[in-house]
Chain A
Amino acid sequence: AQSVSQHNHHVILSEAASLELGCNYSYGGTVNLFWYVQYPGQHLQLLLKYFSGDPLVKGIKGFEAEFIKSKFSFNLRKPSVQWSDTAEYFCAVMGAGNQFYFGTGTSLTVIP
C-alpha cells in the first residue's frame, strides 16, 4: 500500500521567509501527487497537483512543488510566505487503485 511521509510537523516562520515542506511517498508505480491546504475552520482545498509532464508544478497563491521521481519526493515551496498562509498542509498520493492517501500534515504558523 502507498504511504506518505511529511517530515515537518510544525513550522513557524516570519512573514517574507521562504518555505519548503517535505513530502515523500512510497509507491513504485505511476502516481498522481497533490498538496492540499486546510485553513482554520475551512475544508481541505487543493493547492496544486502533479500527474504528468513538467515535474515543477505551480499552484494557487504562489505555491509550487517539484516532483523528483528518483527521490520519491514532492516538496512544496513558496518563496515568501504571508500571514494568511497560516494553515495545515497535507501531501497526498493517488495510486493505481484510485484511493487518495494523505500524510500526517504540517502545521504552518506565519508570524506577522
Chain B
Amino acid sequence: GAGVSQTPSNKVTEKGKYVELRCDPISGHTALYWYRQSLGQGPEFLIYFQGTGAADDSGLPNDRFFAVRPEGSVSTLKIQRTERGDSAVYLCASSLLREGTEAFFGQGTRLTVV
C-alpha cells in the first residue's frame, strides 16, 4: 500500500478484555516497529520485527502484551486482560532497514480501556 495502515483507528474495550491491533506496513519493508504513545509523551518502544522474527521485544511492558508477524508483512499486537493503564495510542512503523532510511508511521490506534 501507499503507507502504513493501522486498524482499528479507535478501540474502546472493557477492563479485563482481550484486544488485537493490526498493522499493515509498506510493501517490501523488512522492519516493523510497535510503539505506545501516551498524552504528552514521545513514542515508547515496544517491539521490533525484522522479517517474521522479533529482533527486540525488550519494550513490552509485561507478559500481557504479545505481537506476531507470521508472514513478515502484517503484524498484530495482542493485549490480554486489558487494564486502564493500557489506554494510549499504539503506533506502528515500518522501515527498509538500510542505513539512513527512516521509519514511516501509521495513524495509530487509540485504545481506551474503560
Query: Chain B: interface residue count, which band?
Result: 20 to 34
Which residue from chain B places its CB closest to the CB of A42 in the assembled complex? Answer: B107
* CB-CB contacts below 8 Å: A39-65 with B: 42-46, 49, 51-52
**A-B contacts, CB under 8 A, total:** 59
The yes or no answer to B105 lying at the interface (CB within 8 A) is yes
The residue among B95, B100, B106 with the most chain A CB atoms within 10 A of its own CB is: B100
Chain B 74-114 interface mask (CB, 8 Å, partner A; 1/0): 00000000000000000101010101101111111000000
* CB-CB contacts below 8 Å: B38-71 with A: 40-45, 48, 50, 55-56
Which residue from chain A places its CB closest to the CB of B41 in the assembled complex? Answer: A104
| A43–B55 touching, CB < 8 Å | no
| B97–A44 touching, CB < 8 Å | no
Using a CB–CB cutoff of 8 Å, the interface residues on chain B facing chain A are 31, 33, 35, 40-45, 48, 50, 55-56, 91, 93, 95, 97, 99-100, 102-108
